[in-house]
Amino acid sequence: MKKIFVMASSGGNLYHLGGSSPDQLMKELNTQVKEAGFVIEGAQFIATDASMDALKKNTKA
């Protein structure tokens, strides 16, 4: 079985695809990954106060 590592954030397009609910997003992603024959080996999810497409030095994470 192929292993993948997921890196995601709460900003940008991901927010509109479920980033406002990280738990639900990761559950859905895990379902789709399994269907494709992969397994999630690890994940890093970053939540910020603003879109990561336009981060500033004072943006909280």
pTM of the model: 0.60
pLDDT value at position 38? 96
- Going from N- to C-terminal start, the domains of the chain cover 10-36
Taking only the tens of pLDDT, the chain with its 61 residues reads 899 998 877 665 666 665 567 778 788 889 999 999 999 999 888 777 777 777 788 887 7
Give 34-42 contacts, CB < 8 A, sequence gap 24+. 37/1, 37/2, 38/1, 38/2, 38/3, 38/4, 39/1, 39/2, 39/3, 39/4, 40/3, 40/4, 40/5, 40/6, 41/3, 41/4, 41/5, 42/5, 42/6
